[in-house]
Amino acid sequence: MDSAQISLDINTQLARQILTGFIRQEVRRAGFERGVVGVSGGVDSALTCFLAAEALGPQNVLAVLMPYRTSSPDSEQHALQVVQTAGVQHVVLPITAMADGLLGQLPQADRIRAGNVMARCRMIVLYDQSAEFHGLVVGTGNKTEILLGYTTQYGDAACALNPVGDLYKTQLRQLAAAVGVPQAVLDKAPTADLWAGQTDEGELGFTYAEVDRLLYLLVDERYSPEDCVRAGFKREFVEAVLERVRKQHFKRVMPPIAKLSNRTVGYDFLYLRDWGT
């Protein structure tokens, strides 16, 4: 396959049906009826919010907005637009005092460390609101981020279920447009909004459109690195992406447990039948 011929187009109607059904089933399987979503103003969380509202009913979804003092004002405005359009409940809980309580003691912390602190503060807030609202935290991370490890472990990666984690970023944007995510959110450059001017693609060093096509060949089509080079991708790019996927695997799995017994969680005690279902 030539790289120019790779299509990541999806059947948005079918994807919407599957993902809303997934949310409904997984939330109810755990004995809940409600969901909690951290809404940042970006397209990933916007789509998750829309899907959760459709699956559970807008009244059963709580959108949590968690700005930091350096967050772009546009982010909160876009998040509020998502909330209003989806019709869900919402609360605004700034994390500035919470994050700065630690960062003020870490004068040598760089922007990456500070961003990780913010991400983990937000997850503390989300899980507190989960207890208050009696709803499960619904994740917002897409397949591209998960594969590349472009996420904070026990921060934005933490959730009870993730309906969008098998959608590459370019596919997620297709579905977001189909479900009615506001155009202002669709048009903005992807960003974690961790510092002024920060963008995902600027930090990664490549575009989502480019890396999604490569990841599709490597992961979904099981192409070898050599196959990808023959398809038209630069060898250095293929090797760099593949190495990143390998090194970030620890973020995609539960912590490995040292095996001592015949029935170890994560190795032998794995399936639904182990819980009597």
Residue 22: give its domain's CATH number. 3.40.50.620
pLDDT of residue 17: 98
Residue closest to 161 by CA, chosen among 9, 22, 15, 17: 22
Is residue 130 assigned to a domain? yes
**149/217 Cα distance (integer angstroms):** 18
Phi and psi for 186 in degrees, rounded to 5? -65, -35
- Residue 1: which pLDDT band, with cuts at 50, 70 and 90? low
pLDDT of residue 198: 65
Is residue 51 assigned to a domain? yes
**231/115 Cα distance (integer angstroms):** 36
Is residue 269 assigned to a domain? no
Contact residues for 201 (Cβ-Cβ < 8 A; gap 6+): 189, 190, 207, 208
CB atoms within 10 A of CB 223: 19
Is residue 211 assigned to a domain? yes
Give the tens place of pLDDT for each residue, 256-273.
Answer: 999 999 989 888 888 777
Taking CA atoms, 235 is separated from 3, 60, 207, 214, 270, in Å, by: 13, 48, 16, 11, 38
Lowest mean pLDDT among 92-96, 129-133, 201-205: 201-205
Q: Any alpha helices (H) in the chain, and if so which ranges?
A: 12-29, 43-56, 73-86, 96-103, 111-133, 143-148, 169-179, 183-187, 200-204, 208-215, 225-230, 235-247
Tokens of 246: 């390998």
Is residue 128 assigned to a domain? yes
**88/59 Cα distance (integer angstroms):** 6
**241/234 Cα distance (integer angstroms):** 11
Q: Domain span at residue 195?
A: 3-252
> Mean per-residue pLDDT for 233-254?
95
Tokens of 23: 């949310």
- Give the count of domains, the chain: 1
pLDDT at 243 over 80: yes
pLDDT of residue 20: 98
Residue closest to 126 by CA, chosen among 97, 159, 104, 96: 159
**6/137 Cα distance (integer angstroms):** 34
Give the tens place of pLDDT for each residue, 35-67.
Answer: 999 999 999 999 999 999 999 999 999 999 999
Is residue 15 assigned to a domain? yes
Give the tens place of pLDDT for each residue, 66-88.
Answer: 999 999 899 999 999 999 999 99
